[in-house]
Chains A and B, each alone.
Chain A
Amino acid sequence: MTNTAVEVRGLSKRFGRREAVTALDMSIPTGVVAGFIGPNGAGKTTTLRMLLGLIRPTAGTGTVLGLPLSDPAGYLPKVGALIESPAFHPALSGRRNLEVLACLGGHPRARVDEVLGRVGLADRGDDPYRAYSLGMKQRLGIAAALLGDPALLVLDEPTNGLDPLGIRDMRELLRGLAASGPTLLVSSHLLAELEQVCDWIVALDHGRRVYQGPAADLLATGRSAVMLRPEREADLSALAGLVADAGFETRLDAGRLQVTGEVHDAAVADLNRGAAAAGIGLVEITPIRASLEDRYESLVTTKES
């Protein structure tokens, strides 16, 4: 068993004169929930299609579950995937669609009922696919991806077109899937959604990788603000002076002091000690974490500048 579920080096894809993915190096450890982020057109779906053997890379090498990218027939039986929108035969029932895929993939027919139950479609399995709502179609897509009891599950924009309740249900489903063992690679441009489920991030912009690593590290870097509240409101101005002397910008906010800038944990500890030494008791130190969206924007802006 390899420690890396996906590993690619110099992966590129060119469509005519347009380069969709450029020399991508990417590594996804086994067992993580990896968010594959970037705006529309960043190259996410093209990369996923290359990983799944649907399109051939122009250049680059890699492995999926330890097997070379050039041998999708070797690793795809252990990979489940939902790429873009779910695609099934409209005239067939959800169950029959899954039976066809189970037959194609050599999976036992009994798995169909199991996965239908797992995605909450057990009662609607015999309805024709064309009668399904968007949320049900997405669920059926995930059920199809689960048929082979995959070691790697690749989901491309699983919340596409869902309403807020559908998005919440999908998030719960993803959490349940993540807890059950497989490595999850989830692509989305809805970063707020991914932030809640991912522990590993690969960020793309214009076909190039701009970040790869633990989600916590990305979110911790460049914390955007810390809120401080002194025990006595009268100490606010003294506290503001002390913070300004440490090189940070401040802003008064309803009896509290908002400290902005690159406020890392060590700096927060220094501010706390400095305040105590000056006789100012702090009753609140609240980090205001940057969102994944903020961090992605910052990564892209830094790269462009």
Chain B
Amino acid sequence: MRRAYQAELLKLRRRSVVIAALLPAALAVLTTVLTFALAKTSPTFDPGGPNFVQRLSALADPGGMTQGYSLGMSLFGLVALIVTIANTTSEFSLGTLRTTFLAQPNRKAWLGGRLLAIGTLLVVAFAVALVAAVATAYVMAPVRDVGTSAWLSGSGIAAAFGDYLNALLGAAFFGLLGTAIAVVVRSTVPALAMAIVWTFPLEHIIQGSWPTATQVFPGLLFATVAVGGVSDAPYVSALLASAGYAAAALAVAMIVMTRRDVIA
């Protein structure tokens, strides 16, 4: 698996990937600016959960520094899903999978190494995004007259780290789901259509009339983990259910990848 991991990192070491890895940072800056700009001054305003429109005074809380970051990274789940599907199905469509398996016949090791490499990229990209979001928050705080003293307290740092970890977990879960769908379907367009239509419009339509869907459907659960829990789905139960889905997705991807003939 070590060789597969290093080989995948080698593939990722190029300018276009570096630029793509900066997208979370750009998104984090944008959502942090929006969070500060749109915050309501009314002390009785209730945002009703994770929302871009927050109560201004809440931004001075220990977790205020990374409010925008958390919201921005939760949107990144869709990107993680699309990127992993497109990236994995391209290995089938380009025929590079057969070249790869001739060099590394242990398919489980290859898939494991590849997922670890993508995970490494996410860890770095989300950390850069966190730094960018924190810097932006410090720039925006005086503009809206928000106190920053609580941000670097112990609970402030813990909240920031928690937001980072949740964002990372949410994206990783979406990435694992995307990998499994790609390995099973193999073709980019049907895989993307299936994944996007189900995890976004359909799940949200069902959620509109059946709130329990938030505790059941993978896309909603992963998004819930990314924002640290919502009123319809407590964080711990969402995390456990998401981990179950992710483990199942990984198992399916491993089994199918190992057993299926490579005819592309």
Interface centre among A55, A96, A104, by most B CB within 10 Å?
Answer: A104
A85 within 8 A of B: yes
Interface 0/1 of A44-81, CB less than 8 Å to B:
00000100111110000000000000001100100101
Does B102 contact A52, Cβ atoms closer than 8 Å?
A: yes
Does A54 contact B103, Cβ atoms closer than 8 Å?
A: no
| Minimal Cβ-Cβ distance residue in A for B101 | A54
The complex places the Cα of A91 from the Cα of B4 at a distance, in Å, of 19
Q: Give, as a whole number of angstroms, the nearest-CB distance from B19 to chain A.
A: 12
New A-B contacts (7) at CB < 8 Å, excluding given A76-B102, A85-B95: A83-B102, A84-B95, A87-B98, A89-B11, A104-B3, A104-B100, A104-B110
The complex places the Cα of A302 from the Cα of B87 at a distance, in Å, of 50
Chain B residues contacting A55 (CB-CB under 8 Å) are 261-263
Interface centre among A53, A73, A88, A100, by most B CB within 10 Å?
Answer: A100
Known: A56-B261, A87-B95, A103-B6. A81 touches B102 (CB 8 A): yes
Chain A residues contacting B10 (CB-CB under 8 Å) are 96, 99-100, 103
Known: A54-B261, A81-B102, A101-B103. A88 touches B96 (CB 8 A): yes
B231 within 8 A of A: no
B49 within 8 A of A: no
26 residue pairs A–B, Cβ–Cβ below 8 Å: A49-B261, A49-B262, A49-B263, A53-B105, A54-B262, A55-B261, A55-B262, A56-B261, A72-B105, A73-B105, A76-B105, A83-B102, A86-B99, A87-B94, A87-B95, A88-B99, A89-B11, A100-B7, A101-B100, A103-B3, A103-B7, A104-B103, A104-B104, A105-B3, A144-B99, A144-B103
Q: How many A-B residue pairs have CB under 8 A?
A: 75
The complex places the Cα of A123 from the Cα of B249 at a distance, in Å, of 44
The complex places the Cα of A128 from the Cα of B149 at a distance, in Å, of 51
Q: Give, as a whole number of angstroms, the nearest-CB distance from A260 to chain B.
A: 45
Interface 0/1 of A140-166, CB less than 8 Å to B:
000010010000000000000000000
Chain B residues contacting A81 (CB-CB under 8 Å) are 102
Known: A54-B262, A56-B261, A76-B105. A104 touches B4 (CB 8 A): yes
Q: Interface of chain A, helix or strand or loop or mixed?
A: loop
Does A105 contact B16, Cβ atoms closer than 8 Å?
A: no
Does A104 contact B7, Cβ atoms closer than 8 Å?
A: yes
Chain A residues contacting B106 (CB-CB under 8 Å) are 73
**Interface residues on chain B, size class:** 20 to 34
Chain A residues contacting B94 (CB-CB under 8 Å) are 87-90
Chain A residues contacting B102 (CB-CB under 8 Å) are 52, 54, 76, 79, 81, 83
Chain A residues contacting B6 (CB-CB under 8 Å) are 103
Does B16 contact A91, Cβ atoms closer than 8 Å?
A: yes
Known: A92-B14, A99-B10. A106 touches B99 (CB 8 A): no
| Minimal Cβ-Cβ distance residue in B for A71 | B105
Q: Give, as a whole number of angstroms, the nearest-CB distance from B6 to chain A.
A: 5
Chain B residues contacting A73 (CB-CB under 8 Å) are 105-106
The complex places the Cα of A147 from the Cα of B99 at a distance, in Å, of 12
| Minimal Cβ-Cβ distance residue in B for A145 | B102
Chain A residues contacting B105 (CB-CB under 8 Å) are 53, 72-73, 76
Q: Give, as a whole number of angstroms, the nearest-CB distance from A3 to chain B.
A: 25
Q: Give, as a whole number of angstroms, the nearest-CB distance from A162 to chain B.
A: 18
Does B11 contact A92, Cβ atoms closer than 8 Å?
A: yes
Interface 0/1 of A6-27, CB less than 8 Å to B:
0000000000000000000000
Interface 0/1 of B230-256, CB less than 8 Å to A:
000000000000000000000000000
Q: Give, as a whole number of angstroms, the nearest-CB distance from A268 to chain B.
A: 48
| Minimal Cβ-Cβ distance residue in A for B99 | A87
Interface centre among B94, B97, B104, B110, by most A CB within 10 Å?
Answer: B104
The complex places the Cα of A304 from the Cα of B74 at a distance, in Å, of 66
> A100 is contacted by which of B11, B16, B97 (Cβ under 8 Å)?
B11
Does A105 contact B101, Cβ atoms closer than 8 Å?
A: no
